[in-house]
Chain A
Amino acid sequence: DAGVTQSPTHLIKTRGQHVTLRCSPISGHKSVSWYQQVLGQGPQFIFQYYEKEERGRGNFPDRFSARQFPNYSSELNVNALLLGDSALYLCASSSQGDEQFFGPGTRLTVL
């Protein structure tokens, strides 16, 4: 069975641009969460979506947005990129239980 997949693997952008990151959950999982992991730190919660509705939001500015599609895949959008947005962005999926399964992440570099 395929695990959580994320695309692209790596991405380089310049300040002020916007970026879209994509995530496909494990088949049958209806919940997707997004995390930002800055180098040397633990992952920080950004969003959780369940059944296409936002269920939770972390302490991130409105430049960050997300959505979930009918097939439960998800996109994370970041507008007006800043240097500080450079990070590994992790997607995790879960069913109704407590365990989240993480994808390999998208490494975003903002120059």
Chain B
Amino acid sequence: AQSVTQLGSHVSVSEGALVLLRCNYSSSVPPYLFWYVQYPNQGLQLLLKYTTGATLVKGINGFEAEFKKSETSFHLTKPSAHMSDAAEYFCAVLSGGYQKVTFGTGTKLQVIP
């Protein structure tokens, strides 16, 4: 079984401040991990993914995430928030014999000017 926990359903940051969105996972097998962003009334867009190899993963729009196996975490960060980053972010894990992706409940990021 696999699951994803996102701490904080709403996060507010000031423009230019550090963005940190937390994600912890559980998986019985080595996981593939993803962060997706969803803008209002739109589908999901992949920000970044971890499959194997380097544990620090860089994605689009200046986001990055670090896979920490010992902490079962995959937190998303961005050094400086931009107004356009306001959206909902979902952490997800893929494992199993088929491509079932399990999503967290999401974190809404608000960027304050």
Contacts and interface: CB of A to CB of B under 8 A. Distances in A.
Nearest to B94: A98
B9 to A, nearest CB: 8
Contacts of A72: none
Interface in B57-113: 90, 92, 94, 96-106
Contacts, number: 62
Interface in B32-75: 32, 36, 41-46, 49, 51
B43 A103 contact: yes
Nearest to B4: A42
Given A98-B99, A100-B99, A41 B45 contact: no
A35 B100 CA distance: 10
Contact of B103 (A43, A101, A105): A43
A-side interface mostly: strand
B102 A45 contact: yes
Given A98-B49, A99-B49, A104-B43, A45 B100 contact: yes
Interface residues of A, number: 27
Contacts of A90: 43-44
Range of interface residues on B (Cβ < 8 Å): 20 to 34
A58 B4 CA distance: 16
A102 B32 contact: no
Given A43-B90, A90-B43, A105-B43, A98 B32 contact: yes
Contacts of A103: 43
Nearest to A91: B43
Interface stretch (A11-19, A48-56, A63-71, A74-82): A48-56
B60 to A, nearest CB: 13
Interface of A: 4, 31, 33, 35, 40-45, 48, 50, 55-56, 58, 90, 92, 94, 98-105, 107
Interface of B: 4, 32, 36, 41-46, 49, 51, 90, 92, 94, 96-106
14 contacts: A33-B99, A42-B4, A42-B104, A42-B105, A42-B106, A43-B101, A43-B103, A48-B100, A55-B99, A90-B44, A98-B49, A99-B49, A102-B36, A105-B42
